Amino acid sequence: MRISKKIIVLAITVGSLASVKATPRDTTFHADGNPIIRHKYTADPAAMVYKDKVYLYTGHDEAAPGHNGYTMHDWTCFTSTDMVNWTEHPSPMNVKEFKWAKDDAWASQVIERNGKFYWYVAVEHGTIHGKAIGVAVSDSPLGPFKDARGSALVTNDMTKAVKHSWDDIDPTVMIDKDGQAYLFWGNGICYYAKLKSNMTELDGEIKTITLPHYTEAPWIHERNGWYYLSYAYEFPEKIAYAMSRSINGPWEYKGIINEIAGNSNTNHQAIIEFKGKWYFIYHNGALVPDAGSFHRSVCIDYLYYNKDGSIKRVIVTSEGVKPAK
């Protein structure tokens, strides 16, 4: 009996140590130019500035070497106080968090409201054919995030502007100056809708925006009274944008700001201001000789405006950005 007790205690101790050892930890690294992350494949960047720190959320390409197809099961989170020295945190969320979802941890964005953090994500729905948009919530920008609804926010049967089943992807979210939150998304057409103050329900009808050569990847931001709606243009994808004095439009197309991403047929942007400078965050396929469209890597370059508020062409560089001060 004594031996049995010792064996049990030893087994429990070893198991506990193994559990502790297996717990993911924060790791730090210095970005040596573009791509900024080189130890794993990252895609579809979205960034948020919160309390003098940048939170970078990405998709995670895990396709086998040379495989031409998306394999994406979780999202990643990195933080920085200077855009060059980064901390990688344990993955804040896996697609399995959404019990109603099948797979495909595609593009996403996080936003803060009233001390809570809401993460809008595109996934494959488990029972309703096609892609869907879910929303998760956390008390911390680092997670863990939990499904905020127990069901999808947007499903393919709610949107009829285009006929294919993957039009409900690439959510981007913004809270306007009057406190009204808006969600934009879409492949083949740009959808948008108001969000209720709880950030987990649509408030009113889903509307569409007609933009030249629109493919996907909308990103909404505001500067000096101008609203900017950037998006992936044609396929392979460039990045173009439109401007408006109202988040509800009308939108005036202004042109291309970023050319086709190197070795990647998709292009997906985030645009943020941090410590007085504007940044254009995107992905390319620079770390692999082939199948780069499914083994993507996040990059960062500067974004500049003209005096009239229009955006200058983004110059893509290997050197990337300097430490922000």
Q: What is the pLDDT of residues 29-42, one digit of tens each?
A: 999 999 999 999 99
Cβ-based neighbour number of residue 204 at 10 Å: 9
Average of per-residue pLDDT values in the chain: 94
pLDDT in tens, 164-182: 999 999 999 999 999 999 9
Decide if 325 is inside a domain: no
Residue 320 lies in a domain: no
DSSP state of 60: E
Cα(16)–Cα(21) distance, integer angstroms: 9
CATH number at residue 42: 2.115.10.20
Strand partners, 217: none
**Confidence check: pLDDT of 11 > 60:** no
* Cα gap 253→271, rounded to integer Å: 17
Q: Within the chain, where are the H helices? A: 2-22
Contacts of 96 (CB under 8 A, 6+ apart): 73
In a domain, 248, yes or no: yes
24: confidence class by pLDDT, cuts 50, 70, 90 = confident
Mean pLDDT value across residues 106-116: 98
Cα–Cα distance, 11 to 151 (Å, whole number): 40
Distance of CA 80 to the CA centre of its chain: 16
Question: Do residues 183 and 192 touch, judged by C-beta distance below 8 A?
Answer: yes
Is residue 275 over pLDDT 70?
yes
> Does the residue 215 lie in any domain?
yes
149 found inside a domain: yes
Label residue 22 by pLDDT band (50, 70, 90): low
Number of domains in the chain: 1
Instruction: Output the pLDDT for position 215.
Output: 98
Is the Cβ–Cβ distance between 95 and 105 less than 8 Å?
A: yes
Quick check: is 294 in a domain?
yes
User: What's the pTM value of the predicted model, to 2 decimals?
Assistant: 0.93
Q: Which residues are catalytic?
A: 44, 216
Between the alpha carbon of residue 168 and those of residues 74, 232, 271, the distances in Å are: 18, 15, 21
pLDDT above 70: percentage of residues in the chain: 93
Give domain status of residue 324, yes or no.
no
pLDDT at 8: 40
Q: Which parts of 139-259 are beta strand (E)? A: 146-147, 172-175, 181-185, 190-195, 207-209, 214-223, 226-233, 238-244, 252-258
Residue 138 belongs to domain spanning: 38-312
Domain assignment present for residue 221? The answer is yes
Q: Residue 5: which pLDDT band, with cuts at 50, 70 and 90?
A: very low
